[in-house]
Amino acid sequence: MGTMGIKIKIMPSSPESDLEKIKTEAKKIVESNNGTNRNYYEEPIAFGLKAVISFFEIPEEQELDVIEQALKNIQEVNSVEIIDMRKID
Protein backbone atom coordinates (compact mmCIF):
# COMPACT_ATOMS: atom_id res chain seq x y z
CA MET A 1 0.00 0.00 0.00
CA GLY A 2 1.07 3.59 -0.59
CA THR A 3 0.87 6.97 1.07
CA MET A 4 -1.48 9.82 0.26
CA GLY A 5 -0.59 13.51 0.58
CA ILE A 6 -3.60 15.53 1.72
CA LYS A 7 -4.00 19.32 1.78
CA ILE A 8 -7.03 20.66 3.65
CA LYS A 9 -8.33 24.21 4.14
CA ILE A 10 -9.76 24.73 7.63
CA MET A 11 -11.94 27.83 7.87
CA PRO A 12 -12.40 29.35 11.33
CA SER A 13 -15.74 30.73 12.42
CA SER A 14 -14.44 34.31 12.82
CA PRO A 15 -11.30 36.47 12.48
CA GLU A 16 -10.98 36.31 16.28
CA SER A 17 -10.72 32.49 16.34
CA ASP A 18 -7.57 31.09 17.95
CA LEU A 19 -5.70 29.65 14.92
CA GLU A 20 -2.92 28.17 17.07
CA LYS A 21 -5.50 26.17 19.02
CA ILE A 22 -7.08 24.98 15.76
CA LYS A 23 -3.65 23.90 14.44
CA THR A 24 -2.85 22.04 17.68
CA GLU A 25 -6.17 20.17 17.62
CA ALA A 26 -5.80 19.36 13.91
CA LYS A 27 -2.32 17.93 14.48
CA LYS A 28 -3.65 15.69 17.29
CA ILE A 29 -6.47 14.43 15.06
CA VAL A 30 -4.11 13.60 12.17
CA GLU A 31 -1.67 11.77 14.43
CA SER A 32 -4.42 9.79 16.17
CA ASN A 33 -5.55 8.55 12.74
CA ASN A 34 -2.17 7.14 11.62
CA GLY A 35 -1.20 10.36 9.85
CA THR A 36 2.05 12.30 9.69
CA ASN A 37 1.87 16.08 9.97
CA ARG A 38 4.03 17.91 7.43
CA ASN A 39 3.05 21.58 7.29
CA TYR A 40 0.51 24.02 8.70
CA TYR A 41 0.28 27.64 7.62
CA GLU A 42 -2.19 30.50 7.55
CA GLU A 43 -3.68 31.87 4.34
CA PRO A 44 -5.34 35.32 4.33
CA ILE A 45 -8.92 35.20 3.02
CA ALA A 46 -10.60 38.61 3.50
CA PHE A 47 -11.31 41.27 6.13
CA GLY A 48 -8.81 39.81 8.63
CA LEU A 49 -10.08 36.24 8.26
CA LYS A 50 -7.36 33.63 7.79
CA ALA A 51 -7.71 29.96 6.93
CA VAL A 52 -5.44 27.23 8.26
CA ILE A 53 -3.93 25.13 5.48
CA SER A 54 -2.95 21.68 6.66
CA PHE A 55 -0.69 19.31 4.74
CA PHE A 56 -0.29 15.78 6.05
CA GLU A 57 0.30 12.22 4.90
CA ILE A 58 -1.85 9.19 5.62
CA PRO A 59 -1.67 5.54 4.61
CA GLU A 60 -3.68 4.91 1.46
CA GLU A 61 -6.03 2.54 3.28
CA GLN A 62 -6.87 5.13 5.99
CA GLU A 63 -10.39 6.55 5.88
CA LEU A 64 -10.11 10.28 5.14
CA ASP A 65 -13.77 10.89 6.03
CA VAL A 66 -13.02 10.16 9.70
CA ILE A 67 -10.29 12.81 9.79
CA GLU A 68 -12.38 15.32 7.87
CA GLN A 69 -15.34 14.90 10.24
CA ALA A 70 -13.12 15.23 13.32
CA LEU A 71 -11.61 18.45 11.93
CA LYS A 72 -15.11 19.86 11.37
CA ASN A 73 -15.87 19.19 15.04
CA ILE A 74 -13.03 21.36 16.35
CA GLN A 75 -14.41 24.28 18.33
CA GLU A 76 -14.31 27.54 16.31
CA VAL A 77 -14.09 25.72 12.94
CA ASN A 78 -16.73 26.72 10.41
CA SER A 79 -15.83 24.42 7.51
CA VAL A 80 -13.23 22.00 6.15
CA GLU A 81 -12.41 21.52 2.47
CA ILE A 82 -10.01 19.08 0.82
CA ILE A 83 -8.07 21.16 -1.71
CA ASP A 84 -5.53 18.57 -2.89
CA MET A 85 -5.10 14.84 -2.59
CA ARG A 86 -2.50 12.74 -4.38
CA LYS A 87 -0.59 9.52 -4.06
CA ILE A 88 2.98 10.12 -2.87
CA ASP A 89 4.42 6.62 -3.21
CA–CA distance, 19 with 11 (Å, rounded to integer):
10
Q: How far apart are CA 7 and CA 42, in angstroms?
A: 13
Q: Whole domain around residue 58: which residue ranges?
A: 3-87
| Angle ∠(56,61,63) on CA atoms, nearest 5 | 70
List the beta bridge partners of residue 40: 54
CATH code assigned at 7: 3.30.70.60
Query: How far is Cα 45 from Cα 62, in angstroms, rounded to an integer?
Result: 30
Cβ contact 74:16 at 8 Å: no
27-81 pLDDT per residue, tens: 999 999 999 999 999 999 998 999 999 999 999 998 999 999 999 999 999 999 9
Number of domains in the chain: 1
Reported pTM: 0.92
